[in-house]
Structures are given as structure tokens and as C-alpha cells.
């Protein structure tokens, strides 16, 4: 593995991850939690990319709530490149700003856009895939997306429809929104559909041009901000102008219209990824991720000082420091923090975000 001198990882770390409440909070979002091992999700994200890029080449886009904790967790990264958006504007302005910034530094920059809160089991294969992607993205106006081979008819993800193959990659025919269940089942069976991982590779120039084409109002705002970077004017400019950008995802702003140009003209390529990806979207997903290696897989996952289990199966219990006794319960999720106690089931864990909505509505900010 060699460090590619033009490769710049841009990690999007502004998400709130409310489905891991009560562990995740505004100032301690999912990406800052060690849900999978000793390192936090964002530390893992950086660590698995370090063989490809020196610390000085990382950029992180986050918000004011999370920036202090990210700086503590990633002390080797340049502070100035851990940027706090003055307001959340979804992924298009975030990655777009990175493109205009990097274009000024390195006209041949290739950007990798990465979520900060996913799990990847086979890091070696992940980096091999990235290197192939970087090569494709370096040429012409190509855009590369890492597609996850679907293993179930998931309705919670966007899908990529792949077409003809090209230099070991597949041409992207279409991006589709989250499908309904019958459509998801059809996608799974068809064999040429992939989950959209949210991981993209493109040159800074390609992305900048795409933004100028597809977001003609927002692109100049981002260029103005980028022009002040490193000067005294920057904080004020960033704070005033960035909120004026359109609030839109890069998928919707760039990838969908680009793919609509057709499989050949779109120049979007999907690299099928087989590196054990999991976005850990809920307590249930976390439980399954940890117990999948077991036999039988339906075990208990208990974080506690010590525990006693009697006729209890398939439970996820997080109460560090306490003695936990689980008697006769099945498939429950119980998560305890200093100020809160979540009690739900593996089946209902996707509704945990509704608790945070309730807390937001009631202005119970201490708990969010």
C-alpha cells in the first residue's frame, strides 16, 4: 500500500446519529462513540485510510457541537482542516467546499468522500478497492461510487443500478431513492443493484465543475469561502455565506442529474465492494454486527461490570459499571447512561430517533 500523493480523504462528520440515543448526544454523536471496539467510529475511519494518506491530507467537515471532541479524538490531524459548518447544509455544500479548497492547493487533487460512522471488516480489501477507484477518478471527469453488494431487501438505503463493465468497474445506469419492499426484493434478485455506500471518489476539478453546472447558485458561494481560507477574513465569511448555500445532498444535486445523462455520458462508475461493510444504523444493527460471528448468532450482548443471565436470549444491554441481571427476557434493548434509560426491543430500535424528536420538541436539550 502506498500513499497516493494526490489523494485527500474528506470525512463528513456532522451527523447526529439519533438512533443511538441515549449514548449518542448532540456533543457526542454516533461517530464519536466506540460502538465497535476500542476506537471510536471516526478514529477507525481515519485509521483505515492512513495507509493511503498522511494526516495532513485529511479534511473533516463537522459542526460546532462535535468539533472539540473530534479534535481530542484525532490530535494528529491539522486543526484548521477540521471544519465546523456554521449551519448544516447536507452533503453537497460540505463536499463542494472541500473541492474548491483542495483545487486551490492541488489542481490534481482526488477527493474521497467518506461517512464517519461505518464499520468495515476487511480494511486491506477496502484500501485495494479505493486504489482502483482513485485511478479511475484521476482520469477525465469520472466519478466513482463504492457500491455494497446487497445481502437483504433493505428498504433503508439508496440503490445503484449498474450497467456495462469498464476497466474492472461497472458503469452506473441510475441512482434510486430508498425503494419499497417489493422493489427492494426485485433489486436484490436482479443482481446488478448495489447499496449506495455514501463513499465517492472524484477529482476536485470534476466535482467543482459538476457543482458549477448543477448548483450554479451555491458553487460561487463556496468558491468565495474557499478564497478566504487561511486569511483573517475566513471565519466571518464562512459564518455568513455558508448558510446561504442550498440544503441538498450531493446524490440529489450532482449524481442523479449526472447519471440521467446516460450510462456512457454520465461517467459514473460503481466499484462493487466486498469488504464487510456495515453502517450500524441502529442498536439492532449493532447487536447483529457483534453476534453474527457467534454460533448460535442470537446471543446476548451485555456491557456491564458483571452479569447474570437466566432464560434470556437475543438481548442488547449496555449498562457499564453496573451488575446486570437479565431473567426471562428476549430481544430487548436496554441502554443506560447517567441521566437516561432506554428500554426497547430489537424490532423497535429503529424508532429510537422518535425519542430524540420528542426531546427536541419538549426542549429537553440536556438529554439530547
Interface with its own copies (CB under 8 A): 21-22, 304, 306, 308, 310-312, 315, 317, 319, 322-329, 332, 334, 336, 339-345, 347-349, 351-352, 354-355, 358-359, 364, 367
Question: DSSP readout, 225-246?
Answer: HHHHTTSTTHHHHHHHHGGGS-
Minimum Å gap between C-beta 163 and its own copies is: 41
Among residues 311, 317, 309, the alpha carbon closest in space to that of 334 is found at 317
Cα 313 from Cα 331, distance rounded (Å)? 6
101 burial type by CB count under 10 A (0-12 exposed, 13-18 middle, 19+ buried): buried
Minimum Å gap between C-beta 18 and its own copies is: 12
Q: Which is nearer to its own copies, 63 or 368 (CB)?
A: 368
The sign of the torsion formed by the CA atoms of 171, 175, 176, 177 equals positive
The three grid cell numbers given for residue 348, joined into one nine-digit string: 423497535
Q: Which is nearer to its own copies, 162 or 312 (CB)?
A: 312
Q: Which is nearer to its own copies, 149 or 365 (CB)?
A: 365
Cα 85 from Cα 63, distance rounded (Å)? 5
Report how far Cα 73 is from the mean position of its chain's Cα atoms. Answer: 17
Q: Which is nearer to its own copies, 13 or 333 (CB)?
A: 333
Minimum Å gap between C-beta 104 and its own copies is: 47
Minimum Å gap between C-beta 132 and its own copies is: 43
- What's phi and psi for 348, nearest 5 deg? -105, 5
Q: Which is nearer to its own copies, 136 or 326 (CB)?
A: 326
Minimum Å gap between C-beta 153 and its own copies is: 22
Amino acid at each position: 500500500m502506498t500513499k497516493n500523493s494526490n489523494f485527500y480523504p474528506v470525512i463528513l462528520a456532522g451527523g447526529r446519529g439519533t438512533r443511538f440515543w441515549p449514548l449518542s448526544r448532540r456533543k457526542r454523536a454516533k461517530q464519536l462513540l466506540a460502538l465497535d471496539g476500542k476506537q471510536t467510529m471516526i478514529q477507525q475511519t481515519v485509521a483505515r485510510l492512513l495507509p493511503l494518506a498522511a494526516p495532513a491530507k485529511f479534511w473533516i467537515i463537522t459542526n460546532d457541537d462535535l468539533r472539540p471532541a473530534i479534535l481530542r479524538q484525532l490530535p494528529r490531524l491539522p486543526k484548521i482542516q477540521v471544519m465546523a459548518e456554521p449551519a448544516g447544509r447536507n452533503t453537497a455544500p460540505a463536499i463542494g467546499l472541500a473541492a474548491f479548497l483542495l483545487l486551490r492547493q492541488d489542481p490534481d487533487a482526488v477527493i474521497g468522500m467518506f461517512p464517519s460512522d461505518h464499520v468495515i471488516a476487511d480494511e486491506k480489501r477496502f484500501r485495494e478497492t479505493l486504489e482502483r477507484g482513485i485511478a479511475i477518478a484521476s482520469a477525465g471527469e469520472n466519478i466513482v461510487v463504492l457500491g455494497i453488494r446487497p445481502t437483504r431487501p433493505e428498504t433503508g438505503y439508496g440503490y445503484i443500478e449498474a450497467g456495462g463493465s469498464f476497466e474492472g468497474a461497472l458503469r452506473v445506469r441510475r441512482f434510486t431513492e430508498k425503494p419499497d419492499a417489493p422493489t427492494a426484493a426485485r433489486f436484490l434478485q436482479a443482481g446488478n443493484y448495489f447499496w449506495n455506500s455514501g463513499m465517492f471518489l472524484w477529482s476536485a476539478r470534476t466535482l467543482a465543475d459538476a457543482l458549477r453546472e448543477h448548483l450554479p447558485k451555491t458553487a460561487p458561494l463556496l468558491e468565495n469561502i474557499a478564497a478566504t481560507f487561511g486569511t483573517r477574513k475566513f471565519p466571518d465569511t464562512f459564518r455568513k455565506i455558508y448558510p446561504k448555500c442550498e440544503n441538498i445532498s450531493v446524490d440529489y444535486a450532482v449524481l442523479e442529474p449526472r447519471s440521467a445523462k446516460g450510462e456512457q455520458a454520465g461517467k459514473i462508475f460503481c466499484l462493487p465492494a466486498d469488504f464487510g461493510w456495515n453502517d450500524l444504523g441502529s442498536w439492532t444493527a449493532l447487536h447483529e454486527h457483534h453476534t453474527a460471528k457467534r454460533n448460535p448468532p442470537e446471543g446476548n450482548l451485555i456491557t456491564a461490570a458483571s452479569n447474570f443471565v437466566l432464560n434470556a436470549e437475543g438481548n442488547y444491554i449496555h449498562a457499564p459499571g453496573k451488575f446486570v441481571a437479565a431473567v426471562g427476557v428476549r430481544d430487548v434493548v436496554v441502554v443506560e447512561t447517567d441521566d437516561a434509560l432506554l428500554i426497547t426491543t430489537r424490532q423497535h430500535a429503529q424508532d429510537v430517533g422518535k425519542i430524540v424528536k420528542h426531546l427536541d420538541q419538549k426542549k429537553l436539550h440536556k438529554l439530547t
